[in-house]
Structure 1
Amino acid sequence: MELRHLRYFKIVAELQHFHNAAKVLCITQPALSNQIKQLEEELGTKLFNRVGRRVLLSESGEAVLSAANQILSEVAELTNAVTNIEKGNSGTIKVGVLQSINALYIRKIVTEFDRQHSGISLNIMELPNIEIEHGVANGTLDIGIGFLLRQNYQNLLFEKLFDENWKLVLSSQSAHYAEDIMMGKKHPLKAVLLPREFETRAIVDAYFVTNKIQHSNITEVNSIAFILELIEAGSSFSILPAIFTEMNLGTKLVAIDLEPAIPPRTIGLFMDKDKLQKISVNNFSSLIRNFLKDKSFTMP
């Protein structure tokens, strides 16, 4: 049994006439009769009784019509739902973002996207970079915003959005310790850093070792906003990508160029190059580009 059998049967039942039904369906009457015969043979029953030139539903035909209406209605709903998804009018987009991007830009991007595409559901997840790469590569995320680690994912497409430099961040009252920190001298400040599961931490740890950066102790915090608050209190410092300093770089914080510098980190858009992207995903990606493409994070 195929959907066309049910559609043909429904038209005949509604018009009560094979010839008229054939005209509506744009097929010959013998072809229509053959389709109805196939349906009757599969169901093992007669679906119509002939009354003059008209055909009326048998008792079994009434039951089949009720089921056919329900099936065809559900198929129509399914088709409509898929069409809306393909046209970018509905569906869900799953996005993985770095903590800094989430804190600084995602609210504006989402607000604008919701204004333009209110029928799309968004699932925004703040994740470590390695999970963003993995999520896009294995299909659990539609889009990722992170930095390239050059993992061995053959299907992963990375589109550069901007480069960011790194900064030594202190409170204005502790800024006089910057030279001692960079020269590897002793000073009273604690280092406040992200936990070790963050890729940023590995870069900073390596810089500390290479440049013999000293600190009285380490405080680990998994929130950039909290790190900046601790630095602002005056007894801590950190080395962070410059984008983080935009979160709270007022008169109480200073961001100083590193000497020697850490190589700039490239932030970009992750997508699966082998996956046919939905229009909604392409629309969201365009907004990301509009907000983040070619931004400069070389803070003065």
Structure 2
Amino acid sequence: MELRQLQHFVAVAEDRHFTRAAERLMVSQSGLSASIRSLERELRAPLFVRTTRRVTLTEAGRALLVEAERILAQVRSAHEAVAAVQGVLRGTLALGTEQCIAGVHVARLLAAFRRRHPDVEIRLRQTGSGALAEEVAAGRLDLAFAYRTEPDTDQLRSVSLAGEPMTVLCHPGHRLASATAVLAPNDLAGEVFVDFHPDWGPRRTTEAAFAAAGVRRAVALEVNDVHSLLDLVEENLGIAVVPRHFRHKRPSLAALPLKGMGETEYETIALLPPERATSPAARALVALLATADPVSPPAGAQAR
């Protein structure tokens, strides 16, 4: 098995199309097909189901994809580590993040990183915390800024960025806006909720807190960006339970503290692969996070 074959396999798996993958790899389609057939013969298993319209992975192909991505990520890290020893940081920094993550200003951090390491190509992907954890573990991302969804594992380690309580946002004319007592989950029973996709950190935090309090809630309006959520709340179409720092994005909304959440807290982290698999670019970004630079998280991040 050659690295070139794994690169060909991953490209076809990503594009779900031999012609597009061949164009991206700048090889002939016949050469790409021959490479995949050779790999299938060696593994004694079909890796793709081919039709006239699309290509899909077989069960064996899905199993190989996880390992192939990890192997290629390690090879890339090895090349970049040698370059770093020679005094030049280059290669690619593949970063993932949720929107409006607490504890780090992502754009400012990346601008500072680029000034220090102009030879590193930066790639950014924005999605939910669950998907980000999977992509870091698989080697598709060098690191990610996300919500803590589970303890560290042998495939993932974390650096704490910030922790904060959750807050209720509602329209100033909503009945809750004039509440004099501190709200608890029971006070929100029966309300119409605006929330994010279930993979997002704030949604997961809220669901866990309400489940712990024994309060059922239904999300009627589901969005995938912060400003759409705030727009819906501002039009009095529902209320939202969000990390406290979101209140500064729309001062016109009423922001109410929420108690009775037990030990539930919105904690944001930097997710990284194991130390041995962390790329030099990711190490440099984490080092930048830990400096006194304005992009650093408050109170200094500590690895867990």
TM-score range, shorter-chain basis?
0.5 to 0.7
Residue 272 of structure 1 pairs with residue 276 of structure 2: no
**Following superposition of structure 1 onto structure 2, how do residues 141-160 of structure 1 map, counting pairs within 5 Å?**
141-150=141-150, 153-160=153-160
Residue 133 of structure 1 pairs with residue 133 of structure 2: yes
Any stretches of 5+ residues in structure 1 without a counterpart?
A: 1-78
Report which of the two structures shows the higher radius of gyration computed on alpha carbons. Answer: 1
**Following superposition of structure 1 onto structure 2, how do residues 175-194 of structure 1 map, counting pairs within 5 Å?**
175-176=177-178, 182=184, 184=186, 190-194=192-196
Which region of structure 1 is more displaced relative to structure 2, 79-88 or 141-150? Answer: 79-88
Q: Deviations over 1:130-158 (max 9, x none)?
A: 22222222211111112222257313221
The residue number in structure 1 matching 2:116 is: 116
Counterparts of 2:135 and 2:217, CA distance in 1: 37
Change (3 A) 1:88 1:192: farther
**Following superposition of structure 1 onto structure 2, how do residues 1-150 of structure 1 map, counting pairs within 5 Å?**
83=83, 87-101=87-101, 105-150=105-150
- Contact 1:156-1:271 within 8 A present in 2 as well: yes
Secondary structure of 1:259's match?
coil
The residue number in structure 1 matching 2:235 is: 233
Q: Compute the RMSD of aligned alpha carbons.
A: 3.6
Aligned pair count reads 215
The residue number in structure 2 matching 1:294 is: 298
Change (3 A) 1:185 1:162: closer
- Contact 2:193-2:220 within 8 A present in 1 as well: yes
One-letter code aligned to 2:273: D
One-letter code aligned to 2:148: L
Any stretches of 5+ residues in structure 2 without a counterpart?
A: 1-78
The residue number in structure 2 matching 1:171 is: 171
Normalising by structure 1, we get a TM-score of 0.59
Counterparts of 1:170 and 1:138, CA distance in 2: 39
- Contact 2:169-2:240 within 8 A present in 1 as well: yes
The residue number in structure 2 matching 1:7 is: none
- Contact 1:181-1:187 within 8 A present in 2 as well: no
Secondary structure of 2:241's match?
strand
- Contact 1:171-1:254 within 8 A present in 2 as well: yes
Normalising by structure 2, we get a TM-score of 0.59
Counterparts of 1:280 and 1:92, CA distance in 2: 7
